[in-house]
């Protein structure tokens, strides 16, 4: 068992693991356990009543958080010709075609987000073993396979987060930094939840959102009362 610090233990004593808290109080309790050594992210886990094995229930998408993520991402773009110049002008950190595919295939992964133009996906598809496990494979559903690379880059830096349900039916996402105000985190939370509710598949019967909890990266998990 990991040994937690005094701040974590003090915050944990304030949280009733069997209780669901109103959002504002839950966020405040979660922030109480933020490390003093560095600013953690404030994350949310949403348990959905879906079966990810069914294609229409494999929830995946993206949403732009109104208060941003508090992060600056290193963006890689696979493009060629005029789109390569467009990506560079839009602020992409790394841009290239076949040569860049080969570099990534060789194990280079010094980037946080990936965008690709549709005409590059034949080559980018070879990178599944490298990009897939990190959740970085470009996908039309998240707006990362597009000829409008300028908009894709701008949205990423503006606070776009991608979400995808895991095998257990959970969606994990960051709501921003623990240095954000509770009000800003609350606004980001509501924006994300609205997107998830809109993504509910018609084949999902019963109560769609089964549970929600928030926590800092290394902090105490706090259950949230949520009614769509």
Phi/psi of residue 106, each to 5°?
Answer: -80, -5
Q: What is the pLDDT along the chain (228 residues), one digit of tens a residue?
A: 456 667 777 777 888 889 999 999 999 999 987 766 778 899 999 999 999 999 999 998 999 999 999 988 999 999 999 999 999 999 999 999 999 999 999 999 999 999 999 999 999 999 999 999 888 999 998 899 999 999 999 999 998 998 999 999 999 999 999 999 999 999 999 999 999 999 999 998 889 999 999 999 888 899 999 987
The contacts of residue 1 (CB under 8 Å, 6+ apart) are: none
Structural domains in the chain, CATH included, are: 6-69+160-223 (3.30.190.20), 75-158 (3.40.50.790)
pLDDT at 2: 58
Pick from 189, 184, 186: nearest CA to 163: 189
pLDDT at 83: 96
pLDDT at 32: 86
Cα–Cα distance list, 226 to 46, 48, 112, 207 (Å): 10, 12, 31, 12
* CA distance linking residue 86 with residue 78, whole number of Å: 12
pLDDT at 151: 96
The contacts of residue 223 (CB under 8 Å, 6+ apart) are: 17, 19, 20, 21, 26, 211, 212, 213
Find out whether 216 and 36 touch, Cβ atoms under 8 Å: no
- Residues recorded for the chain: 228
């Amino acid at each position: 068992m990991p040994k937690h610090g005094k701040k974590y233990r003090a915050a944990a004593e304030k949280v009733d693991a069997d209780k669901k808290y109103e959002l504002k109080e839950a966020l405040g309790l979660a922030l109480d356990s933020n490390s003093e050594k560095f600013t953690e992210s404030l994350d949310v886990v949403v348990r959905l009543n879906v079966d990810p094995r069914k294609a229409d229930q494999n929830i995946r998408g993206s949403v732009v958080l109104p208060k941003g993520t508090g992060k600056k991402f290193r963006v890689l773009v696979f493009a060629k010709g005029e789109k390569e110049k467009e990506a560079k002008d839009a602020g992409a950190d790394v841009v290239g075609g076949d040569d860049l595919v080969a570099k990534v295939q060789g194990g280079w992964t010094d980037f946080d987000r990936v965008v690709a133009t549709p005409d590059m996906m034949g080559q980018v598809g070879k990178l599944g073993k490298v990009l897939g496990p990190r959740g970085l494979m470009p996908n039309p559903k998240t707006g990362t396979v597009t000829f409008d690379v300028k908009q894709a880059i701008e949205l990423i830096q503006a606070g776009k987060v991608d979400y995808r349900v895991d095998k257990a039916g959970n969606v994990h996402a960051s709501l921003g930094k623990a240095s954000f105000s509770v009000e800003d985190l609350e606004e980001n939370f509501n924006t994300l939840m609205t997107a998830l509710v809109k993504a509910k598949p018609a084949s999902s019967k019963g109560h769609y959102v089964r549970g929600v909890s928030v926590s800092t990266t290394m902090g105490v998990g706090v259950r949230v009362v949520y009614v769509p």
